[in-house]
Amino acid sequence: GWSAAPPMSVRCLIRCGSSGSITSASAMLVSGPMGAKVMLAGAASADFASFTAELRSLAAELGVADRIVFAGPQTRPQLAGLMREASVFLLPSWSETFGLVALESEASGVPVVAWRGAGGPPEAIPTDGGVLLDSRDPADWADACAGLLSSDDGWAALSAAARSFAEAHTWDATAAGAT
């Protein structure tokens, strides 16, 4: 897991989505705080089996391979543990059906950065608890992360808002609102 990261370091958890996630991560790592670590969790489908190797190669080419952990597929408890330890969660998906993974991250008090066009994230990410981007430009993603992490007090407010939003959108709360 995160054991290679020093205490109190920035920990960015990314759901594998595109090579843009690596270039966003590298931009953040290069311009961000020393000791920052990025973890990519998830796996490519069988028809994209070479994707992880391509991402590793890109990380090496960008000079950030030593600060990116490729965690691979995670069980639900493992992913929940990684989320609880993260500072920010990036969701670079091209498509989401609902944004459940964003709510899971928010339930851990972790602000989310996601692409607005994915479907799902606009409904699952509060404006005061995360960032929805219209851009797929890695520099914009790195800037969004930097903005979320620029102040301890600001991050704490985002974290509290993210958690509050998730608590109001549990399965029970959603079902109660549908009746």
Q: What is the 3-state secondary structure (H, E, C) of 112-172?
A: EEEEHHHCCHHHHCCCCCEEEECCCCHHHHHHHHHHHCCCHHHHHHHHHHHHHHHHCCCHH
Predicted confidence (pLDDT) per residue in 50-79, tens digit: 877 888 888 888 788 888 888 888 888 888
Spatial separation of the C-alpha atoms in residues 54 and 75, rounded to whole Å: 24
The pLDDT of residue 20: 56
pLDDT band at residue 31 under the 50/70/90 scheme: low
Q: Evaluate whether 24 touches 92 at the Cβ level (below 8 Å).
A: yes
Calculate the alpha carbon distances from 38 to 1, 57, 122, 133, 174 in Å: 11, 15, 24, 19, 32
Whether the model clears a pTM of 0.85, i.e. scores above it, the answer is no
Q: What are phi and psi of 71, to 5 degrees?
A: -80, -20
- Please name the residue that has the structure tokens 């796996």: 43
